[in-house]
Amino acid sequence: MVGMTAGAASPRASAPSASVLLWIAALVFAGACGGLALSDLIGRVSALWVANAILVYFLLTNPSRDWPLVLGVGLGANFAADLVMGDTVLTGAALTLCNAVGILIIAAPLRSLGLHDDLSRPKPLCVFYALALGPAPAASGLLSAVFFYLLFGRAFETQALDWYATDALGYSIVVPILMTVKLDALKRMFARDQIAVTLALLGVVAGTLLLNYFARAYPLAFLFFPAVILVTFQRGFAGGAIGLLMAAAYLMVPVLTGHPRGALAEHGLREQIVLVQVFIAVIGFSVVLVGAALEERRRLEQGLAAAKVRAESAREEALVARDEAVRANRLKSMFLATMSHELRTPLNAIIGFSELMNDELYGTLGDPRYREYCGLIRGAGHHLLSLINDVLDMSKIEAGKLELHRQVFDIREVVSDCLGLMRERAAQSGVALACDIAQGRLLVDADRRAMKQILLNLLSNAVKFTPEGGRVTVRAHAAEGLLALSVADTGIGIPADQIGRLGNPFVQIRGHAGASHEGTGLGLALVRALSEIHDGKLAIESVHGKGTTVRVTLPLVRDDALALAG
């Protein structure tokens, strides 16, 4: 029976073969005859009905399209067993119908919920037990009680309770074992590298049985439980099933042969069989629950191992991707640096000749429009040269090749120079420039050109985003050994959700109607990079529609430290 588990559990393209149907008929017939024989032995209904459990197993392990055939063969065998054991055709048909109701109440919900193929998982197992101990035996028991009451006058409650106990024990003991014990697991237990431990574990079960046999005067049957659970822990469902069968045989054979042991001898035959089967059912229930927990743990461990493999693979891929990204970034920086140098040479010529033409060094240009065009060429050339310088500087910073020429100087000098350079542009845009610098010297140890580049970029951005009539203010103050150099404007401001994006290369905010202003988006990125290589920080504060303040903080050089160095 166990050997058919693996094959029956897999879906098939065709109907069950004749041999499989023969197996179903033979097993159900044998189970029904055995149950009826036991029923005749102890009076009325057996305490364990195996035939229905076997048929439930075959329904769960076969596709639903084959159910009519499987159910027909199984119920036919059940009906035949009733007739062979002496029931009338009417009684056999009624009992077969009652059995069919209970079987379908278990099999149909499990199939519809997709929980039919693996009772080793906690959820399907709990649903199965809920059906097998509840509506399935209760419904079939009530139907049988109605039939026997109406035809034979048998006590309704007694019949219903007997049938319920019969079906519930059969379902709960037999079906989980059949569904969870696999042939390959049995083979692994007795493989060459496992057989010694397996025999030792089964020896523990046998030892508890022998101890109980030779010490019959003592209630030692409770030792069966830990022994069987030990085998289950070590060998899973298959080991637990073998241990359970050993304990069941030890307890049931003496009862059926009229030689009950221990406290069982004080009860009648019916009570002896009921007590033994309930005891077996409790152990079987524990075996299945423990086995399900162990199987779930095994699956989780396998999932964890697979997750570790995937994580390791992802880590290796991430390292490769990082190396590729570093290489690509290095190549990009080299390309930008090379192209910037190549572009500067012809661009300087364009700017130089446009200035010569604009100054009319070798004679007049004639039409005034030519002078205007020369001015446009010169302005566009200077703007393009500024962009190329920014790209070149940014590529040098990213490649770690920007050389700083540090010197100690007063930041006032840089502020004054930058304001002078930006004043004409600000006036053309109708923007007022203001300066607020603290008294005393503000000495920094920095690259003068880099500081000038920082402030010019900040002033250029402020003027660009400040409408006519606005104001741009440069502030420089000392606080706690740091220089706070800031440029504040009364311009359009920056939306709160875009402030975090600024300072990254090639990122620009969108202005009104989604339009972006001219430039590469390198201005603030360059300011941030130059600040950081001077051990400084960049901070941006803005209120949309009211203005923006960009602040750079740098370490100050104290006068006493400068004197000591000198």
* Residue ranges of domains in the chain: 1-162, 327-399, 406-565
Does 393 have pLDDT greater than 80?
no
**pLDDT value at residue 337:** 67
Residue 164 has pLDDT above 70, yes or no: yes
Question: Distance (Å, rounded) from C-alpha 257 to C-alpha 250?
Answer: 12
Q: Is the pLDDT of residue 187 over 80?
A: yes
3-state secondary structure of 263: helix
Question: 519: pLDDT confidence band, cut at 50, 70 and 90?
Answer: very low
Return the pLDDT at 504: 59
Burial class (CB in 10 A: 0-12, 13-18, 19+), 387: middle
Confidence of residue 76 (pLDDT cuts 50, 70, 90): very high
- Do β-strands 537-543 and 471-479 pair in parallel, antiparallel, or remain unpaired? unpaired
List the beta bridge partners of residue 549. Answer: 488, 541
Q: Is the pLDDT of residue 6 over 50?
A: no
Residue type, 57: Y
* Residue 516 confidence (pLDDT): 43
Lowest mean pLDDT among 65-74, 226-235, 462-471: 226-235
Q: How confident is the model at residue 523 (pLDDT cuts 50, 70, 90)?
A: confident
Q: How confident is the model at residue 55 (pLDDT cuts 50, 70, 90)?
A: very high
Class of domain 406-565: alpha beta
What is the side-by-side order of every strand in the sheet holding 537-543?
432-437, 471-479, 482-489, 547-555, 537-543
**Strand ranges inside 394-447, DSSP E:** 406-410, 432-437, 443-447
What's the CA angle centered on 321, arms 320 and 324, to 5 degrees?
A: 90
What does the pLDDT read at residue 104?
Answer: 93
Residue 311 has pLDDT above 50, yes or no: yes
Greatest mean pLDDT range, 172-181, 244-253, 334-343, 541-550: 541-550
For the stretch 35-44, contacts whose Cβ atoms lie closer than 8 Å and that sit 24 or more positions apart, written own/partner, are 35/166, 36/81, 36/82, 36/85, 37/85, 38/273, 40/85, 41/256, 41/269, 42/269, 42/270, 42/273, 43/270, 44/162
Among 268-272, 344-348, 357-361, name the one with the lowest average pLDDT: 268-272
> Rounded mean pLDDT of 7-32?
74
User: What pLDDT does residue 485 have?
Assistant: 92
Q: Residue 230's pLDDT is what?
A: 87
What the block records as the tokens of 365 is: 């240009």
Kindly tell me if the per-residue pLDDT of 502 is higher than 90. Answer: no
User: What CA–CA distance (Å, rounded) separates 68 from 70?
Assistant: 6
Higher pLDDT, 417 or 253: 417
Give the largest Cα separation in the chain, rounded.
136
258-278 confidence digits (pLDDT tens) = 777 767 777 776 677 777 777
Are 506 and 521 a contacting pair, CB within 8 Å?
A: yes
